[in-house]
Structure 1
């Protein structure tokens, strides 16, 4: 069994999917907005709020040339430098503790993605219940080892990683002490297309590494997440904002509150619908048996009269003999007078 708990929350196929609302940079450098995002996530029914813990200086160099300048015309962040992007997106470290406290008041689990060892040290002082490794860091084996050494549950996004790279990440995590692991299928484009999601990877990922699996989803809407649950995802992570129209570094691929509420509802409904392998009549279906077809007398019969095709039809409701017996009853004699509208039974026939 690969299931485990984050706080009091069970992570595994015997529980509804664990829904993480990723704040990322959607606070737009406003602590008041950050609090509002936490509160909206709780009101929408999310199970956890996640931050990202870094500074521009722990991520990159303050340069705006060559590879340090975002020049891809298809990027949401084209025209800026990596350093300025991270300055805009980062969550001030002094915000973490009050945001985590507010989440706890609202019944939300709260944790973060660290991007270097100093962030792990900081988050350990805040007693986070779990850690997340971002896709771009899934080849940073020293960071994975440092996080795994805490012994806390570890969630790793798999974006862009080959099987060999994932094997190295998982092996490193386990050797460093990680017992509870989730691998999130992820497409590292922002936003991502449904066609690039390849959710059929999920059961293969679970079989390969013997751990829980989920989806870090950058597509629009909730369709991919619901499909992922049907394929075995037990964790769903989506970026979350108050209103995409407010802008921000991640707003374009983030859910709004009503969408997050739908995500929580529909992924749990998908999980409930999976059930097990089942045939035959379920307890809830028993009242519906009456709506099957069965054999009824549709023309008055006298005692001793021979049944013809004109006397018997297969109709609803289902209180008579099964339609399969039609050929067996034709040609038999009525044991007694049988009025039209009587469900046919063997006891009525000679």
Structure 2
């Protein structure tokens, strides 16, 4: 399923679930996402009747105070639309999967032939559900918003206990939107240290792409951002979604960073070969000397270029004698010394 997942680069997911209710809207989102260079699109799979009681309320910045049941009922999509959206994403060369919220949602996605499952933070500690998903044998991306580290341990153990080790952990903050002081990207690194056998990434609910880019620089293997064609469109997630310009900037910045990151070996870059020779310094004569003259601090200085005797040998050269006649500004070589 993860045909676009490569070991040497970050996997970028455009979360379009909740930002469409028609195939036309979904196609527009997928077209825009593909044009931005993302690796995958993700949906949300739920039915209000199996997700929320009628007394559950939202009280978040992006929703205000409103009925969860009514909001989920408004934005739920049926199985036919799932199939159509997934096929369209596949035709565009994107990976595709969804976040189920109930066992029946998992079954629907399995009928669609989904190759992975994303677990939202609301189900991060729902151990019976995690075990059910794990038994599909498919890769699982687990968001860990609202979790303590011990809760994450229990969830990881539940999934691994079903024999499924195809698990990716995503640091997340379940605030919509998430403000900078709450992002806490170092917690993502705590997950990396605690679960070194697992890939770790970041699910971003901030209002700009900066946090996702920072997460990649701090080692995220996966980043997920909500995606929209219009931040002002109807729906609670559009305001915290990246628009095409932001997503394109993010993907381009991530790919540029991955080139800049290099291999970690501290050595001169290929591009430095000429400047290393020309711009470093060597031992250079400040006056002409004749064969047999003793070299002194008055006759030897440290100057550019860098292809002569290195400055670290300055004290060793002082007191030596010239092996031949040398002009002012001669760049000293060991063969010049007696």
TM exceeding 0.5:
yes
Matched with 1:3 is none
Alignment of 1:142-221 (within 5 A): 142-209=128-195, 210-221=197-208
8 A Cα contact 1:51 1:91, kept in partner: no
Which of 75, 93, 110 is matched with 1:89 structurally? 75
Which of 53, 57, 60 is matched with 2:49 structurally? 57
Matched with 1:260 is 247
8 A Cα contact 2:3 2:95, kept in partner: no
8 A Cα contact 1:115 1:137, kept in partner: yes
Alignment of 1:212-291 (within 5 A): 212-283=199-270, 285-290=272-277, 291=279
Alpha-carbon offset, residue 87 of structure 1: 2.9
Alpha-carbon offset, residue 56 of structure 1: 2.4
Matching of residue 336 in structure 1 with residue 324 in structure 2: yes
SS at match of 1:146: helix
Matching of residue 8 in structure 1 with residue 9 in structure 2: no
Q: Which runs of 5+ in 1 are unaligned?
A: 1-5
Q: Which moved more, 1:50-59 or 1:224-233?
A: 224-233
The 1:326–1:177 alpha-carbon spacing in structure 2 relative to 1, beyond 3 Å, is closer
Matched with 1:132 is 118
Which of 89, 96, 106 is matched with 2:92 structurally? 106
Measure the CA separation in 2 of the matches of 1:115 and 1:31: 21
Matching of residue 18 in structure 1 with residue 11 in structure 2: yes
Measure the CA separation in 1 of the matches of 2:50 and 2:189: 35
Which of 291, 299, 313 is matched with 2:287 structurally? 299
Q: Which runs of 5+ in 2 are unaligned?
A: none
Measure the CA separation in 1 of the matches of 2:321 and 2:125: 82
Q: Which moved more, 1:104-113 or 1:199-208?
A: 199-208
8 A Cα contact 1:158 1:183, kept in partner: yes
RCO greater where, 1 or 2, for CA within 8 Å and sep 6 or more? 1
Measure the CA separation in 1 of the matches of 2:164 and 2:315: 67
Aligned residues: 336
8 A Cα contact 1:131 1:153, kept in partner: yes
Instruction: Please report the TM-score for the alignment, with normalisation by the length of structure 1.
Output: 0.88
Q: Which moved more, 1:111-120 or 1:170-179?
A: 170-179
Alpha-carbon offset, residue 283 of structure 1: 4.7
Alpha-carbon offset, residue 331 of structure 1: 3.8
Matching of residue 42 in structure 1 with residue 34 in structure 2: yes
Measure the CA separation in 2 of the matches of 1:273 and 1:52: 35
Instruction: Please report the TM-score for the alignment, with normalisation by the length of structure 2.
Output: 0.90
RMSD value, Cα: 2.2
Measure the CA separation in 2 of the matches of 1:48 and 1:335: 69
Measure the CA separation in 1 of the matches of 2:298 and 2:24: 79
Alpha-carbon offset, residue 226 of structure 1: 2.6
SS at match of 1:91: coil
Matched with 1:322 is 310
Deviations 1:296-344 (A, max 9, x none): 2233334444434343221222111111222333343332222233211
Measure the CA separation in 1 of the matches of 2:230 and 2:219: 30
8 A Cα contact 1:238 1:255, kept in partner: yes
SS at match of 2:64: coil
8 A Cα contact 2:61 2:177, kept in partner: no
